[in-house]
Structure 1
Amino acid sequence: MHDIRLIRDDPAAFDDAMHKRSVAASAERIVALDQQRRALITEAQTAQARRNEASKAIGAAKAQRDEPRAADLMAEVATLKARLPEIEAEEARLGADLDALLAGLPNVPAADVPVGADEDDNLLVHERGTRPAFDFPAREHDAIGPALGLDFETGVKLAGARFTLVRGAAAKLQRALGQFMLDHVTAAGFEQVIPPVMVRDEAMFGTGQLPKFAEDLFQTTDGRWLIPTAEVSLTNIVREQILSEAELPLRFTALTPCFRSEAGSAGRDTRGYIRQHQFDKVEMVSIVKPDRSEAEHERMTATAEGVLDALGLAYRRMKLCTGDMGFTAARTYDLEVWLPGQDRYREISSCSTCTDFQARRMNARYRPEGEKATRFVHTLNGSGLAVGRTLVAVLENYQQADGSVAVPTVLQPYLGGVDRLSPR
């Protein structure tokens, strides 16, 4: 949600920010609605004050036996009494219209975010690691995985397209990856959480999935939503709270299943394990003071990069352009891992700073030490990493000519010392 005061103070800057995000928005309309609403609030306050004043004057007029004056005042009070609910209803309507308008507009991009239309306009920040060199043709994960337990056919039979049954060696490797990631992120200072994976409307609104992106979500028959990412549950921990400055920063992490309808991905990644309706992910969320959010964004992204470094996977960091960022993000770094079977980089993590955008939707604040006034916190979120996509990366980067897959050294303790997964 946006700070209406900033829009009032510089409407041209707001329109420019929305234009960079390819969103048709009118600060003029927003400010006009806000002015109408504030005018009604002032009218209601004036009417209430006059009503109170006139009510007192009725008693004085009657005490003086000035019946005509008392009658006029009583008529005025009756008129004000009838008018006040009308003002309040109109103000509520305008407020709802204004909130709905603001709720549908994305966050303002940070000043250093490149302006662009799509992923082709993203900016390379750095590239790390060494791509593997094979003396045999590299295969994609969907050719390697079935012999290790990635059962695409049974997954489809059980649940339909974009579901996979994972068994045997592949299941052990996926669980090892998830636990390793969780341990790595915990060591970086994030508190482990086991959150609900079904949440209410308010939680989805708070992190920006609702109302705009309902079609991307799964909903239960009783109205709850399956989380598309643990960001929803973890960020909403501070919903409608006033934290003390001493409590910040708060850092949470969780390994959860995530559920996405992939409404806009028809025809994309229909093969394999890249884009699923259900997948596991280790999520990081930070709640910080505004003056710490820049440093926290770098810290969080470096934590995710540390997972890839430890696994020995080549990757690059991309700064997303305005047209490729998520709705709530002010800046996003994508980490893209090298997949030799596909001969390309693929996204494996997104780390975003949302400034106070989500905090305003959640009404999450903190009170600076020694001050009475409160301020909105800043929220950040990032993948540390998407477990299924990391499984894909390990299969493709550690594949052997005989169909087996070497186990990265850091994962071997999680697999009882096993250093190679052999096909069945």
Structure 2
Amino acid sequence: MTARPLDGRTVLDLTTALAGPYATLLLAGLGATVIKIENPAAGGDSSRGNSPYARADGPAAARREAADMSVSMLARGRNKKSITLDLKKPRGREVFADLVRHADVVVENYAAGTADRLGVGYSAARDANPRIVYTSISGFGAQGGGSGTGKAMDTIIQALSGVMMTAGEPGDPPVRFGLPVGDLLAPLYAVIGTLAAVMHADRTGEGQHVDVSMLGALTSLLSCEPFDAFETMGLPARTGAMVPRLAPFGLFPAADGWIALCGPTDAFARGVFAAMERADLAEDDRFATRDERVRNAAELHEMIRAWASGLPRAEVIKRLAGHGVPAAEVREPAEAVRDASVLARREVVELVHPDHGPTGLLGPGVPITFSVSGAGLDRPAPHLGQHTEEVLGGLLGYSAGRLAALADEGVL
């Protein structure tokens, strides 16, 4: 198998739910040995209890047998080793310290301050291993606090970030993004920060704390679009299917579905006019220049709607493509994840049950292709505690007697 960029690196995974586990999933896909530490008293990662569940006979709304695995865990647990360890017990924290001595990275997404209260925060990890890179993902950052009740879930972060007031039409109620963007963006920054800190540790021998907030990650991206300038200029922040500073640009109904069209430049706009068999519009003062098209966007977009709505979607796209205009159909999610090129590049892959094999269900792959290195998620998610003896006996050299004693104490 082709070597992977993070081969030989060990990551201790204290995460649960989505934001943290997605970060460690990416690290696992890049080759790191990810040891998922799960609380036996709580039944492990909370996502193990997410419906639906993968069964031998297909997905089901409720778990009926011990082998049934949440589809969430089926996706997020791949390429990871699961051990059980009760960090609330002193012996559990001793085992954690032993693991840190053999690790390069720790990732956690507890609420701010929780890891320190448990005795497994950055200071404790640094005492065990000064080179450790300790990555925290939280709602508002390591300092804690935050608006509202201070409790961070994706919908709360979406609400506080302002993104709910960017989708939809002016005057509409807030629009919650169907994709949990706060939970998925923060781990991307966490992985970037983790890899940068590992490079620093390799160069200097010095570990550090990497601190990423969900609110900061999402709001930082929001600020890439000049919404404050829009407000000053009197432009709406909420634009629905259009973008107020670009025309023609947006979503348009065809006879049998919707299309996305992006034609803001003069060349693209002329292509739109030609596709509509209205080349004369290129000489119309209202639409001849970029600024005038933006000024008269409502009128221009209404003309495009009237044209596209009378044609099948495929025909609209064919005509636009024939004149070099960027355009595409608006897909349903189930159709999008089955895109042939996405599947061929293994950016989306079939999920495999550890007992039953291929499930027919799809989940994220590693959407990065290297010219030399390998990457991918090719091992199924583990059952709770499946690798406890392997990791503690193999990596740490614990004897069978010591493992039995820890189990009897409820540590494992």
Question: Normalized against structure 2, the TM-score is what?
Answer: 0.22
Higher normalized helix content (fraction of residues): 1
Q: Higher Cα Rg: structure 1 or 2?
A: 1
Question: Normalized against structure 1, the TM-score is what?
Answer: 0.21
